[in-house]
A and B are shown apart, each in its own frame.
Chain A
C-alpha cells in the first residue's frame, strides 16, 4: 500500500510536522511517497528525499504553488489510497478541500494508527479520544504532530520525480504575510516551551520570559487569555484552537489552566506550573508546581540556571 504525505515546506526547507506525518504514514504502509508542491522548491524536494523511510518524492513546481493556497492540490494526489497532511494551519486549510473533491470524509488530527482504516483522534478539546473507522475507499487524514515521533530527516535516498503541475485558478491572491520574526525554536517543535498567561499582566512583562527562554533555548508560547488581552500575537497561542505542543518540558507561567489551554499542552513530557493561586487547575497536571509570585520566581529561576 502506497501512502502519500503532502509536505509542508517553504520551498527551501521542510516544516518539521512533515516528518511526524511521514512517521504516521509508516504505521499505515511501507511505501511512502512525499509530495512537494511549490515554486523553485528543488531544495525542499531534496530535503524530502533524505527523510528516512521515504521511497519516492513527487515534485510539482509552478508559480501558483509559490504561496500555498488550498486550490490545485487535489488533482496531484487523487491516485493514492491514503493521503496524509500535517495538522498544521497548512494541512487544516488544504486537507478538507482535497477530501471533498475526492468525495472522502476526512479524518482530522489523528494521534494513533490502529490499522490502515482505523485511527484515534481527540474530540471535545482532548477530553475524549475517539477510535474511528473510515468507510471510504480513499483516506484523507491530517496528523497531529505530537502523536508521532518525527521520522529521521536524513538517511534516506528517495528518487525525485517531477510532476507537471496542473493549471490552477489564480482567483486567490496572497497580498502579503506578516510573520513573527524570532531566532527561537519553532513553537510547535521546540524541545522546551515557556508559556505566559494573564498573570504576566502586560505584553512588556513577556520580556521576563525571554531571558529565561534564552537560557533554555526554549520557544515562547501563551495562553488564549494572554493573546486575547493583546500581550502577544495570536501565533503564540497554545490550546485547543491554537497550537498543540508536546515538548520535553513545558513551563506554564501565570496560566490558570483552562480546559482550552490544557488541550494544547497536556501531552508534554514534563510540566512545570508557576502560579500564585494554589487552587489553579494547572497544578493538577503539573509534575512540578511552584506556588508564588512569578515576578520574583522567574528572575530567580533565570539566575539559578546560571
Chain B
C-alpha cells in the first residue's frame, strides 16, 4: 500500500501549483474581497487600558453620527449572545467562560468595548471617535512573575488568583534517579512573546439573506465547521425553555440531530468512552455556572431552525491564529442578526498585533541528571505559560502544556521525567496556537543539551548521539508513553546533518574568522514531532483527543465524467489544491486537470471539528481523499468490467483511459462509464459515483523528524547576527510535492529566525503593548533570511497512508539551532544563552561589549 517516492504518476513530483492560476493574476478571492449587496462595515472600539472597570459608556453621539447604522456595547452583546464556554477542561485547570464583548471590565489593551456598524469603514471609524468610556483603572498584571504573586489583582475573579492551571506529571522514580546520577545541571530559560502575523489579518463578513434571514458567514478561518457551530450556539439567544420547546416541536431538526449524533457516536464510540470527567470536576469546583453554560449551549443549538453556512475562500496565511473562533465573529453575527443586514469586518494590523493572536511566552526551569560520560538519567522541567487575558478558543495554553509534557523528552533515552505545568493569566493579548505550539519543548531541551555538553567538556553532537534512540532499539516508546517506530529517524537526520556541516572544516573557518575579529558559531537541534501522531500519542495528550485522527472525504464523478473531491481541510497557503489533486489523480489514474478540490464551504464539505492545523493535512486529509477516491476507482472498475465484459482484476486505468490491460485502444473514458452508470440509476441530477469515506489514522501517520544545523556570524560592532549557512535534514516520509515541502520548511525556519533575532510582542510594566505596528514588530525581510538547504530522507512507514506532516517543523527546530549557534559563537566570552530573544543589544551584552540594563 505504500507509495514509494518517485513512483510513476504525480506524487513525488514538484508539479506547478493549481492555486497559482488565480493567485498570480490577482483573481484570488480573500475575505476582504467579499462584498454582499448593501453590506455594512464594522469597527470595534478597543480598550486603551490593560486592566480597568468600565464605569460608564456613552454612545448616543456615535449613534447620531453620519452613516452610522448601529452601535453595540458589551451590555448589548450580553443580551444578544451567550458567553464562550470552557471548551477544554483538564484536571487542575480553571478555564474562564468569557463574553463576546466586555461589559463590566477590560482585561487587556485591545479588549472589545463597543462595535460601530456604518455604511463605510471610514464612517464606522469616525463613529468610534464619538464614544466616551469612563474607566476605573485596576492594577495591571504584566508578567509571569507578577501573575505568580498571590497579591496580584485577579484577571478572572473566580479563578482564585492568576494561576489558572497547575499540574505535575511524573514518569519513573525521578527523585531517586536524580540522587543517583553523577551530577545535576540546572538552567532557567525564558521565551518571549511572539505573534503569528499572517500577511492577511483576520476578517469576517456576515451575509444576511434578505428573504429568509439565513446567515452565510465568509471568514478567513482554519476551521469553518467549528465557526458555524459556535455562531449557531452563541448567537440568536433565546430562553432555555423556548429552545427546548422549539427542539421538541421541530421534528425535522430533531430527526437530523439524532441521526448526526448517532453517526458521530458510532464513529467515535471508543474515544468518547475514554473522555476524562476529572477536568469537568475541576472546572465545576470553581465555577458552576460555566459548566451549566456548556450544557445550555447544547440546548440552544438544538432549538435552532437554521444554522449558518460558513464559507472560507482563499486565506492569506494563519499559522494557527485563524483556528480560533474569535470574539469578534460572535459579536458581528449578533449585530448582523439584530440589524437584519450584512456586516463586514476586516481587522487592521494594529488590531492584529494586539489581539490577533500571540504565543510562546514561557519560562522554563530545566534540570538534567547526567553521568560524567554524558549519559542522560533524568529530566525535570518546571514550565509557566503566560496565556494573556482571554483563553484561546477552542484550545489554548493549558492544552499545549499536555503536548509539551509528552514531547519534551524528545528523541532520547531517559530513566525518569517530571514536569510541572502552570498557566497564568495576565493583562495581555491572547495566547494562541502558533506553528508548532509546543515548540519550546524542543528549544529548552536542545538548548539545555548544549549547556550540559559544555559543562561536561563534551561536544554537543557526541552527547546527542550517545543518548538518542537508535533504530536498533525500535519498536520502543517515549518515557511519556507514545510508541516509537522507525519513522522516528531523528538519529539518521543528525548523522546526515553532521556530514553536511563538516565540523572539522568549520573549526578551521572559525579560527581564521576569529583572526579577523569575526565570531562564528555552529549550532544544531534535533526533534521529532507528532505529525499528526498516532492513536496512542493523542491518548497520552488527553484521553479521547484521538478523535482528531478521523476525517471524512467525498469523491464524486458527475454524469459528464468530472471528478470532484470534497475535503474537510481548510487550506491557507499549504497548496492542498495541488497536493491532494496529485494524490487523487494517481489513485484514479487520470490527469490532474480532471480533478477539482472543494473546501471550506460547510454546505458541501464533510463535518470536522479540526479543519487545517496540527500537521494533519497530508496524513489525515490526504488519507481521507485517497480512501474515498480508491473506493470510487473500485466502482469505476466494476462498471467498466461489465461494459467491457472483462474481469475487474483485468481492468487498468491510464491517463483517464479505462481499459482491459493490454488493450488500451478499446478503452472507455470516465464520461462514458459515468453516463452508463447514470442511465442505470435513472437520475441525471446526482453524481454517477459518489463515495464519502472516513479515514482514521490509528496506527500509521506517525512521526516527522529533523535536524537543523546552522552557522552564525556575529559582528560585535553592531551586535548583528548573520546566518551564512542553514541546513535542514528532514524526514516526513514520502514527499508528495518536494517544492511544496521545501517551501513549508523554509517558511517555518524564517519564522524561527524572526523569533530569535527580530520579533517581540513587547509590553511595558503597565501591560501596554509596545509593538503595535510593523515599525516595531519586525518581520524579517529578504535581507535577513538566507537561502536554506533542505535535505529529505524518506523513511516509509508500515501504515496505509504514510505521508507525514511538515508544516510546523521548520519553526520547531530553528530557534534551538540558532540560539545554540549564537552561544557557540560567543563561547570565547563565556556567554550563556538563556533567552530566546537575542536582538543586537542582548548579543552585545552577552559578549560584554556593553553592560547589562
Q: Is chain B found bound to chain A in the same assembly?
A: no
